[in-house]
Structure 1
Amino acid sequence: MNKTDNTWQRAFETQLADNPTAFEGLKSLLVCHQGQLKATYFCQGYDAQTLHEAQSVTKSIQALIVGALADRGLVDIHQPIYPYFEQTYGAYFDTPQKRLITPYHLLTHTAGWEWNESQVPYTNLYNDANLQFYGDNWLEYALSKPHLHPPGEVFNYSSASPILLAYWMNQLDEELTHLQYAYDYFYRPLAIDRVEYQIEQSTNPEAKPLAADAYLCAEGLLTIAEMMRQNGQSRGQQIVSEQWIAQCLHPHISLRQTYASAYGYSWWLQESKNGLPAYYYAWGYGGQHIFVVPTLGLSLVTAGSFYQEGAPALDPTPFALLHTAIQLAQQQG
């Protein structure tokens, strides 16, 4: 890692020391301003190369991988997914509305299926995300849920969406898998060589692997953050097109949440308010974040274990660190 900035480093160390209880779940922090590393923090045996479960940050990364395929003309996200599911899971697409669901609807979480993830704590077994991943067949659980709304009408955050996208990508080519696309078109061009995935333990030995959460190190997350800040570029190479990045960050879904005013292609967006500039982020349960503040040239990534019983799914602690970074960037101009 490059040398940090003493002013920034001291500011974060003071913030963490002043409230150790609030930050006890924090495992890593990396802050970059205008392409320069400004501050780092590691504890609990972690360093910049330690793999950590990214949780739903994986959704945002998956949206970029889909973009890399779209850039190459390999996919059209506005065409229905039904033909790719018909042979094995066609029985679940038993209504005309289900057959209209597209990757766009999965990227924006507007497919229309019933899914109870935001209303039930992740510490509760009956959260649909837990019921899905603890089950024997992730796809069957997701597809068996009642279909309540026409595609595109209602936002309902769902960890079924990335599983359906992964299966859809698995069907694009007889030989290639969605993980091969991820490595070949995204991670390797970014020179990210430390990444693993949670893989479904399929009872079918001939089935292609189906992956859920990614495990990345802090340095890898910061590489992705900086690529986003630079509109899809990294080390002079266009990894994902500017057009796709713009669509990821377009407010496809309007929200009125405390920490998000809109949702793009699996990226959360926050408009400027209360003296803070607009920013966007990837979020994973437990304190996993990629933050980017475009107007300040600022990127920040965290990994944590804020999994306490009763804790909010979206822990506010990383946002306090973001606010400190924003203040420092504004002071430097």
Structure 2
Amino acid sequence: MSSDGVSHFRDPTASGAPVIPRAEWDRAPWNRWTFQHVRHLLPTAQVWRGEGPASPLPVALRDIDDVGFDIDGRYETIETFLRTSYADGFLVLHRGAVVAERYLNGMTARTPHLSQSVAKSIVGTVAGILAGRGVVDPAAPVTAYLPELEATAYRGATVQHVLDMTSGVLFDETYTALDSHMARLDVASGWKDSSDPSWPGTVWQLILGLTDAECPHGASFRYRSIETDVLAFVLQRAAGTSIAELVSRELWAPMGAEEDAYFTIDPAGYGLADGGFNATLRDYARFALMHLDNGRINGRHIVPADWLAETRAGARADRFGGVYHDVLPKGAYHNQFWIEDGERRAYMARGVFGQMIYLDPEASFGAVVLSSWPEFVSAQRTRTALAALHAVRAALA
């Protein structure tokens, strides 16, 4: 533990360093190293950047360290926020240019970082691209693409239901419970091992076993990571190729990524769409820049502008419970994105342990925050991160 209260983890490849426990590789304190070295631990599939040049990222640096904000009865600055928040990478965009870019905890410009559930928004964006071309119909039943799911609780659900996580399928998302659906997903995805031979060995097998419903389809939002995997299998079936190849072909190469990205894969070779995507800070920034410019980057129009407008404006204003309401009291969820405020229409990609891509097109402002928190979720840390970004947005404006 350093003097600023942030733990640092010794490189496990160094001589005499402790061996990372297989069951805890994504938990603290190990995640301070593992989130930047996932392919050292798990099998992965390449997301090729393509043959073309990288899209330029204009730079117009500003000194934002002293920008201050009040949160939960205390005063912080951007400098103290970055020093105490377990941040690994931080990048701010304003009016099409990078105004701040920081690397911490050993991260570099070429280091891929685990995105956790930010991956959902990557996959959701690809869904928007394919929907715009008519390859996938969000209004169609999931079973139109995956007839095998007629025997599951997904029978009757539409593709839009899984895009919005409003299917009625029962899925226990509890991260720390040893017998939850999430624990089974960790095993099925290849992230963890299990001694129980009855647990599903692949993500597809896990989906086929979801036969219980907890509410009617479309009745309410319930955060279920497995919905993104169902969506990814729909996209794969409709397009006839893997999710890693789809992200490369439809998004990563056309937007001019600078580096290859990668997905972790399960024992069947499926790329984990709900949280297994890894990329560099600057390429996450290119993804953000494309969203801020209505789906365009470097002269190319990649994502349909009407899909992005509908994503920001068409969200259901469901009441969030627990940590969701604490962090986003006016928020909603739509097309695999979090809408921060239905009036301002700023939106976000978010992942556990502190991953975030913040997007406010009306202010021409965006930010990428990559972290390795000691907790899965923290309302206090998320509120602090949002307060920091709001303060930077206001200072730049």
Question: Normalising by structure 2, what TM-score?
Answer: 0.72
Cα distance in structure 2, aligned partners of 1:165 and 1:19: 35
On the 8 A contact 1:48/1:219 being kept in 2, the answer is yes
Cα distance in structure 2, aligned partners of 1:298 and 1:129: 34
Among all aligned residue pairs of Structure 1 and Structure 2, give the percentage whose two residues are the same amino acid.
Answer: 23
State the partner residue of 1:259. 327
Alpha carbons of 1:326 and 1:168: their partners in 2 closer, same or farther (altered >3 Å)? same
Alpha carbons of 1:293 and 1:20: their partners in 2 closer, same or farther (altered >3 Å)? closer
On the 8 A contact 2:64/2:78 being kept in 1, the answer is no
Q: Note the alpha carbon deviations across 1:158-185, whole angstroms, 9 max, x for none.
A: 11011111111222255x2232221111
| Residue 287 of structure 1 pairs with residue 357 of structure 2 | no
**Equivalent residue letter for 2:132:** D
Q: Comparing 103-112 with 142-151, which one deviates more in the overlay?
A: 142-151
Alpha carbons of 1:293 and 1:7: their partners in 2 closer, same or farther (altered >3 Å)? same
| Residue 129 of structure 1 pairs with residue 209 of structure 2 | no
Which of the residues 138, 146, 151 maps onto 2:203?
A: 138
**1:278 CA displacement:** 4.8
Cα distance in structure 1, aligned partners of 2:366 and 2:253: 21
Cα distance in structure 2, aligned partners of 1:247 and 1:325: 27
Alpha carbons of 1:166 and 1:313: their partners in 2 closer, same or farther (altered >3 Å)? farther
Mapping of 1:97-136 within 5 angstroms? 98-117=154-173, 120=174, 122-135=175-188, 136=201
Which of the residues 288, 296, 301 maps onto 1:233?
A: 296
State the partner residue of 2:390. 323
Describe the SS at the equivalent of 1:286.
coil
| Residue 92 of structure 1 pairs with residue 147 of structure 2 | no
On the 8 A contact 1:279/1:292 being kept in 2, the answer is yes
Cα distance in structure 2, aligned partners of 1:296 and 1:164: 34
Structure 2 stretches of 5 or more lacking a match?
Answer: 1-56, 69-75, 189-200, 320-324
Describe the SS at the equivalent of 1:220.
helix
Cα distance in structure 2, aligned partners of 1:72 and 1:46: 38
State the partner residue of 2:310. 247
**Equivalent residue letter for 2:178:** L
On the 8 A contact 1:306/1:315 being kept in 2, the answer is no
State the partner residue of 1:78. 139
**Aligned residue-pair number:** 311
Q: Note the alpha carbon deviations across 1:89-138, whole angstroms, 9 max, x for none.
A: 54335xxxx43211100000011111222xx3x34434532321213122
**Equivalent residue letter for 2:164:** T
Q: Comparing 104-113 with 309-318, which one deviates more in the overlay?
A: 309-318
Describe the SS at the equivalent of 2:238.
coil
Describe the SS at the equivalent of 2:310.
helix
**1:7 CA displacement:** 2.9
Q: Note the alpha carbon deviations across 1:240-296, whole angstroms, 9 max, x for none.
A: 1101111222343213423332222111112278xxx55211101111111012222
On the 8 A contact 2:59/2:97 being kept in 1, the answer is no
On the 8 A contact 1:251/1:263 being kept in 2, the answer is no
On the 8 A contact 1:22/1:317 being kept in 2, the answer is no
Alpha carbons of 1:229 and 1:247: their partners in 2 closer, same or farther (altered >3 Å)? same
**1:314 CA displacement:** 6.9
**Equivalent residue letter for 2:302:** I
Mapping of 1:36-55 within 5 angstroms? 36-55=97-116
**1:219 CA displacement:** 0.5
**1:324 CA displacement:** 2.3
Which of the residues 233, 238, 262 maps onto 1:196?
A: 262
**1:238 CA displacement:** 0.7
Describe the SS at the equivalent of 1:300.
strand
State the partner residue of 1:149. 215
On the 8 A contact 1:167/1:210 being kept in 2, the answer is no
On the 8 A contact 2:346/2:361 being kept in 1, the answer is yes
Which of the residues 265, 270, 289 maps onto 2:340?
A: 270
**Equivalent residue letter for 1:22:** T
**1:11 CA displacement:** 3.7
Describe the SS at the equivalent of 2:358.
strand
**1:151 CA displacement:** 1.4
Cα distance in structure 2, aligned partners of 1:137 and 1:184: 25
**Equivalent residue letter for 1:125:** L
Structure 1 stretches of 5 or more lacking a match?
Answer: 203-207
**1:68 CA displacement:** 1.1
Alpha carbons of 1:327 and 1:154: their partners in 2 closer, same or farther (altered >3 Å)? same
Alpha carbons of 1:20 and 1:67: their partners in 2 closer, same or farther (altered >3 Å)? closer
| Residue 166 of structure 1 pairs with residue 219 of structure 2 | no
State the partner residue of 1:22. 84
On the 8 A contact 1:80/1:102 being kept in 2, the answer is yes
